[in-house]
Structure 1
Amino acid sequence: MYAEERQQRVVERARADGRVEVTELAAEFGVTTETIRRDLTVLERHGVLRRVHGGAIPVERLGFEPALAARDAVMTAEKERIAKAALAELPVEGAVLIDAGTTTARLAEVWPADRELTVVTNALPIASSLATRPNTAVLMAGGKVRGRTMAAVDDWALRSLADTYVDVAFIATNGVSAERGLTTPDTGEAAVKRAMIAAARRVVVLADHTKFGNDCLARFGSLSDVDVLITDAGLDEDAAAELSAAGPRVVRA
């Protein structure tokens, strides 16, 4: 097993159980405790785990939110597959909303040049990526910019979204579960995501499989609000069926 694959599984275990122990992980993967400690150091450097005595805890459980660059560096192949699958949900012409997030940013990277589309976004990196694309008009939902996610939030963003109505909203999320729905660590971003859902005829959620079963502080929607949920093949069929039963069509890219 490659180190990257092992580290990915460590993160999944930490998010599912709330904590991982060095000795247990070493026994499970058949490696030394020193190898596991190095893995945890790498994952802490990426901003997804926080080292504690004897193991590690996912940052979400400690009330922290990984910075944009740290989140962008993990699950890259899965995010690219999700973004390409999301292209099937784009209208031929019309208006769409794109939420701030590293997976939604991948959608901007593969954006088609042959469609007349207006994009409303609260994400500075996404606006910058799409502003020079042919046939694409970009509107920014203004507001206070969070340095951690480069997303505009609070009253100014909410006021502009209240007067917006689009064909499709592409929404990012930090957590997805059948019990809690869609969640994120920051209440300001939760309010904006809630407004985006209300502003769209159809809602498409883009989330890699590590987000599932990971409940965060602020709930901004239920699965019944979602038309399509696009994830990667790391989500098993039973979990996909459970989510689908709650409302959305689930696509595993």
Structure 2
Amino acid sequence: MYPEERRQEVATMISQRGRVSVADLADTFGVTTETVRRDLALLERLGHVRRVHGGAVPATTLTVTEPGLVEREHTRAEQKDRIAKLAGSYLPASGGSVLLDAGTTTGRIINGFPPDLDLSVITNSVPIAARLAGFSSINLHMLGGRVRGTTQATVGDEALRILDLLRVDVAFIGTNALSVEHGLSTPDTEEAAVKRAMVRSANCVVVVADASKVGREHLVSFAPIHSVDILITDDEISPTDRASFQDREIEVVIA
């Protein structure tokens, strides 16, 4: 492979995975780490990637925009289905309490709810609440506040006041991005505040996020990475990223 072809492949891999380490690139292309670093330096100058500690991320990784709910619903749907199905095994026993964050992956967790499971479920998601309203065994609580059109999630002081009073068994949290350095992050400050309060109120924090979000960073960090107990993701997460999370005592579960 010519150097130009290798660099193109490197840029494509980083774009698809979100974050790739120097060591992984060296192993993949059979070159030295010094060669990889030179490739990354050139790709950064060309505006294709952004170098970070130990590797690189896409140049557009740090972003303040977010797609709408309909678009996200159909993005990486197969991976989200697998993640949500596995997340169901972390539901508390009958009589327990759950926080369901707004999101297209958290919303899929409902598909695995046993019909007779007695649970108290708190959510800030209008679509999730609408679906759960038909479950006779669910004690449903909808957080109040202003509804964001982009995510159909309630935000604001009313939601935060209730969350500050709660202690739940498990919180299933979605995120737009996660990295060791920036933690869990999202573009909107008000939604970040609600997510932050959800994380604080849970005995166990289960993050459901497909591998495309790993290594990415959005504008507002709402929780440090060490606040995560369990990360459920898909098999496209790199061995380096998986090991990095596990080194911080996060249980990484592959769906």
TM-score range for the pair, normalised by the shorter chain length? 0.7 to 0.9
Task: State how many pairs are aligned.
Answer: 208
Asked whether 1:80 is paired with 2:93, we answer no
> What's the % identity of the aligned pairs?
45
Q: Tell me by how many angstroms 1:14 deviates.
A: 6.5
Structure 1 runs of 4+ with >2 Å offset: 9-12, 14-17, 57-63
User: Using the alignment, how far apart are the partners of 2:132 and 2:229 within structure 1?
Assistant: 25
Instruction: Say which SS state the counterpart of residue 132 (structure 1) adopts.
Output: coil
Instruction: For residues 5-45 of structure 1, give each alpha carbon's deviation from its aligned partner in whole angstroms, at most 9, with x where no partner exists.
Output: xxxx969606738xxxxxxxxxxxxxxxxxxxxxxxxxxxx
Alpha-carbon RMSD: 2.2
User: Using the alignment, how far apart are the partners of 1:189 and 1:97 within structure 2?
Assistant: 15
- For residue 163 of structure 2, the aligned residue among 161, 164, 172 is 161
Aligned counterpart, 1:42: none
Q: Are the aligned partners of 2:63 and 2:219 in contact in 1 as well (CA < 8 Å)?
A: no
Q: Are the aligned partners of 1:15 and 1:214 in contact in 2 as well (CA < 8 Å)?
A: no
Q: Tell me by how many angstroms 1:62 deviates.
A: 4.9
Q: Are the aligned partners of 2:87 and 2:232 in contact in 1 as well (CA < 8 Å)?
A: yes
Higher relative contact order (CA 8 A, sep 6+): 2
- For residue 193 of structure 1, the aligned residue among 192, 195, 210 is 195
- Single out whichever of 60-69 and 80-89 deviates more from structure 2: 60-69
User: Using the alignment, how far apart are the partners of 1:96 and 1:167 within structure 2?
Assistant: 6
Instruction: Say which SS state the counterpart of residue 161 (structure 2) adopts.
Output: helix
Aligned counterpart, 1:225: 227
Instruction: Say which SS state the counterpart of residue 158 (structure 1) adopts.
Output: helix
Structure with higher Rg: it is 2
Instruction: For residues 132-190 of structure 1, give each alpha carbon's deviation from its aligned partner in whole angstroms, at most 9, with x where no partner exists.
Output: 12311110111110000000001011011111111000000001111111111111111
Instruction: Say which SS state the counterpart of residue 217 (structure 2) adopts.
Output: coil
Structure 2: give runs of 5+ residues left out of the alignment: 1-10, 20-46, 49-57
Q: Are the aligned partners of 1:178 and 1:246 in contact in 2 as well (CA < 8 Å)?
A: no
Q: Tell me by how many angstroms 1:110 deviates.
A: 2.5
User: Using the alignment, how far apart are the partners of 1:70 and 1:59 within structure 2?
Assistant: 19
User: Using the alignment, how far apart are the partners of 2:13 and 2:156 within structure 1?
Assistant: 31
Relative to structure 1, the CA distance from residue 236 to residue 62 in structure 2 (aligned partners, 3 Å threshold; closer, same or farther) is closer
User: Using the alignment, how far apart are the partners of 1:173 and 1:159 within structure 2?
Assistant: 22
TM-score (norm 1): 0.77
Q: Tell me by how many angstroms 1:112 deviates.
A: 1.8
